[in-house]
Amino acid sequence: PMQGTVWVPCGTMNLMLGLLLFVGTLLYSYVEALLKLLLPVKRKNVRGEATAREFARCQSRLVLWDVEAHGLKETATECEGLGATVHTFVVDCSKREEIYSAAEKVKKDIGDVSILVNNAGVIAAADLLSTQDHQIEKMFEVNILAHIWTTRAFLPTMMKNNHGHIVTVASAAGQFVTSFMVAYCSSKFAAVGFHKALTEELTSLGKDGIKTTCLCPVFMNTGFVKNPSTRLGKILEVDEVVKALMEGILTNQKMVFVPPQLSFALVSEMLIPERASNVLKKLTDVKFDAIVGHGSNQ
């Protein structure tokens, strides 16, 4: 029989090699995830790095920003009592120029920021037509634009050193939609998207020393939302959310769900047909006080 040379186009060969690399990486990732479940993950040393009470227990150096001076002073006093060195700045995180100005003061007077935690957030629980224009603007200014401005302010030094950690405090409302929170959900979806896009960009730039973490908790007992309830379980206490976030930062987790079962709900939402998914949402029976229509309560 005649023998010949099998010619495989270069593009096809590259595609096949890429698929083999994908399969190998996929298998490696599953094995790595299994090992992390079975073995304790090494935690990073955060001595000398930043954020409030839990970091204060690590004898950290904290730079705290808040729009309200009295609450800022109380938090600073509490953190100092836990052993932290604390610097405070009154900053309105809805104002870009205030963020940039405070960031310059921090860099000049204190030094490099190793861990940036974007934690500011506001909400107006109401149907879309009852939500005022200024409320929508404020939610986007604080819940997402402030994250971008602070990151732009502190990222250059992190890039130069290839070292740092950027934390985005988002919400379960950035993964799952909820009625009477259209503007809030939109801003939190934007925050989650910002985290994912920033993570991808840092990877593309080869800045593997800069870590990112995004926190997505359900309702917390903070008064942020009035009278929340759900069949999914109890309303979270702040301390348990903070501990989950700290663990996520110390072990370089990309996404932290509180409670962790939210990650399964996210997967099931993609797999379950829409009609069945809607029935499941009704079973969760999420409730909270909101303005619906012309001032009526729901």
For 126-141, b/e burial (b = at least 16 CB within 10 A) is beeebbeeeebebbbb
pLDDT bucket at 22, cuts 50 / 70 / 90: low
What pLDDT does 39 receive? 58
In sequence order, what are the residues at sequence separation of 6 or more whose Cβ sits closer than 8 angstroms to the Cβ of residue 162? 207, 208, 209, 210
167 within a domain of the structure (yes/no): yes
12 within a domain of the structure (yes/no): no
263 within a domain of the structure (yes/no): yes
DSSP secondary structure code for residue 67 in this structure: S
- Per annotation, catalytic residue among 28, 30, 100, 184: 184
74 within a domain of the structure (yes/no): no
What pLDDT does 220 receive? 85
85 within a domain of the structure (yes/no): no
What pLDDT does 36 receive? 59
Q: Report residue 210 as tokens.
A: 């800069």
How buried is 66 (Cβ within 10 angstroms: 0-12 exposed, 13-18 middle, 19+ buried)? buried
What pLDDT does 264 receive? 83
82 within a domain of the structure (yes/no): no
> Which of 21-30, 31-40, 61-70, 163-172 is predicted least confidently?
31-40
76 within a domain of the structure (yes/no): no
Q: Into how many domains does the chain fold?
A: 1
Q: Is residue 184 among the annotated active site residues? A: yes
pLDDT bucket at 27, cuts 50 / 70 / 90: confident
pTM of the model: 0.80
Over residues 157-209, the pLDDT tens digits come to 999 999 999 999 999 999 999 899 999 999 999 999 999 999 999 999 999 99
Q: Which domain holds residue 230?
A: 91-297
Over residues 105-129, the pLDDT tens digits come to 999 999 999 999 999 999 999 999 9
68 within a domain of the structure (yes/no): no
> Which of 35-49, 175-189, 253-267, 284-298 is predicted least confidently?
35-49
What pLDDT does 275 receive? 82
* Mean pLDDT (whole number) for 81-97: 94
Domain of 152, CATH number, reads 3.40.50.720
